[in-house]
Chain A
Amino acid sequence: MSPHHDENPAGAHLPLEPLPGHASRGRLERVLRRGEFAVTTELNPPDSADPEDVYERAAVFDGWVDGINAVDASGANCHMSSVGICALLTRMGYAPIYQISCRDRNRIAIQGDVLGAAAMGVQNVLCLTGDGVQAGDQPGAKPVFDLDCMSLMETIRTMRDQGRFLSGRKLTTPPAMFMGAAINPFAPPYDFRPLRLAKKIAAGAQFVQSQYCFDVPMFRDYMTRVRDLGLHEQCFIMCGVGPLTSARTARWMRANVPGVHIPDAVIARLEGAADQKREGKRLCIDIIDEVKEIAGVAGIHVMAYRQEEYVAEIVHDSGVLKGRRPWRPEPRADDALVAGRLDHILHDNRVETPQQILTEAQAAPHPATT
Chain B
Amino acid sequence: MSDQTHRAMIPAAGQGRAPQAKAPRPGGPAQVARPGRGYAVRLWSVRHARALEWFYRRFARTVLLLHPLWSALGYGRVEKPMRFVERRVKGFMFDCRMCGQCVLSSTGMSCPMNCPKQLRNGPCGGVRANGHCEVRPDMPCVWVKAWEGSRRMVQGDAILTVQKPVDRTLAGTSSWLRVTAQAAAERDHRKDAA
Residues of A within 8 A of B (CB): 102-103, 107, 129-135, 140, 142-151, 154-155, 166, 182-184, 187-189, 191-192, 195-196, 198-199, 202-203, 211, 258-259, 261
Contact of A143 among B116, B122, B125, B165 (CB under 8 A): B116
In the bound complex, what is the Cα–Cα distance between A143 and B29 (angstroms)?
A: 7
Interface residue ranges of B143-176 to A (CB < 8 Å):
143-144, 147-148, 160, 162-166, 168
* Residue in chain B with minimal CB distance to A133: B30
Contact of B116 among A132, A154, A191, A211 (CB under 8 A): A132
The yes or no answer to B124 lying at the interface (CB within 8 A) is: yes
- Interface segment, one of B36-44, B47-55, B127-135, B182-190: B127-135
Q: Please determine whether B127 and A259 come into contact, CB atoms closer than 8 angstroms.
A: yes
In the bound complex, what is the Cα–Cα distance between A192 and B134 (angstroms)?
A: 17
Residue of B123, B124, B128, B129 contacting most chain A CB atoms (<10 Å): B124
* Residue in chain A with minimal CB distance to B132: A188
- Residues in A whose Cβ lies below 8 Å from that of B28: 142-143
In the bound complex, what is the Cα–Cα distance between A147 and B118 (angstroms)?
A: 9
Q: How far is the CB of A256 from chain B (nearest CB, A)?
A: 11
In the bound complex, what is the Cα–Cα distance between A189 and B151 (angstroms)?
A: 12
Q: Please determine whether B29 and A192 come into contact, CB atoms closer than 8 angstroms.
A: no
Q: When A129-B119, A188-B144, A189-B144 are in contact, do A195 and B124 touch as well, CB less than 8 Å? A: no
Q: Please determine whether B122 and A188 come into contact, CB atoms closer than 8 angstroms.
A: no
In the bound complex, what is the Cα–Cα distance between A11 and B179 (angstroms)?
A: 56
In the bound complex, what is the Cα–Cα distance between A183 and B125 (angstroms)?
A: 7
The yes or no answer to B121 lying at the interface (CB within 8 A) is: yes
Interface residue ranges of B62-82 to A (CB < 8 Å):
none
Q: Please determine whether A196 and B123 come into contact, CB atoms closer than 8 angstroms.
A: yes
Q: Please determine whether B126 and A261 come into contact, CB atoms closer than 8 angstroms.
A: no
- Residues in B whose Cβ lies below 8 Å from that of A148: 117-121, 165
Q: Please determine whether A182 and B125 come into contact, CB atoms closer than 8 angstroms.
A: yes
Contact of A188 among B129, B164, B165, B168 (CB under 8 A): B129
Report the count of interface residues on B (CB-CB < 8 A): 34
Q: Please determine whether A143 and B30 come into contact, CB atoms closer than 8 angstroms.
A: yes
Q: How far is the CB of B126 from chain A (nearest CB, A)?
A: 3
Q: From DSSP, what is the main secondary structure of chain B's interface residues?
A: loop
Contact of A132 among B120, B121, B135 (CB under 8 A): B135
- Residues in A whose Cβ lies below 8 Å from that of B11: none
In the bound complex, what is the Cα–Cα distance between A191 and B120 (angstroms)?
A: 18
Q: Please determine whether A107 and B165 come into contact, CB atoms closer than 8 angstroms.
A: yes
Q: How far is the CB of A169 from chain B (nearest CB, A)?
A: 16
Q: Please determine whether B126 and A187 come into contact, CB atoms closer than 8 angstroms.
A: yes
Q: Can you list 23 A-B contacts with CB-CB less than 8 angstroms, sorted by A residue number?
A: A132-B116, A134-B30, A134-B135, A144-B29, A146-B165, A148-B119, A148-B120, A150-B121, A150-B163, A154-B162, A154-B165, A166-B165, A183-B125, A187-B128, A187-B129, A188-B123, A188-B127, A192-B143, A196-B123, A203-B121, A211-B125, A259-B126, A261-B129
* Residue in chain B with minimal CB distance to A154: B162
Contact of A198 among B126, B127, B129, B160 (CB under 8 A): B160
- Residues in A whose Cβ lies below 8 Å from that of B27: 142
Contact of A150 among B29, B125, B162 (CB under 8 A): B162
Q: How far is the CB of B44 from chain A (nearest CB, A)?
A: 19
* Residue in chain A with minimal CB distance to B164: A151
The yes or no answer to B141 lying at the interface (CB within 8 A) is: yes
Residue of A135, A151, A192 contacting most chain B CB atoms (<10 Å): A192
Contact of A189 among B30, B120, B148, B166 (CB under 8 A): B148
Q: How far is the CB of B16 from chain A (nearest CB, A)?
A: 14
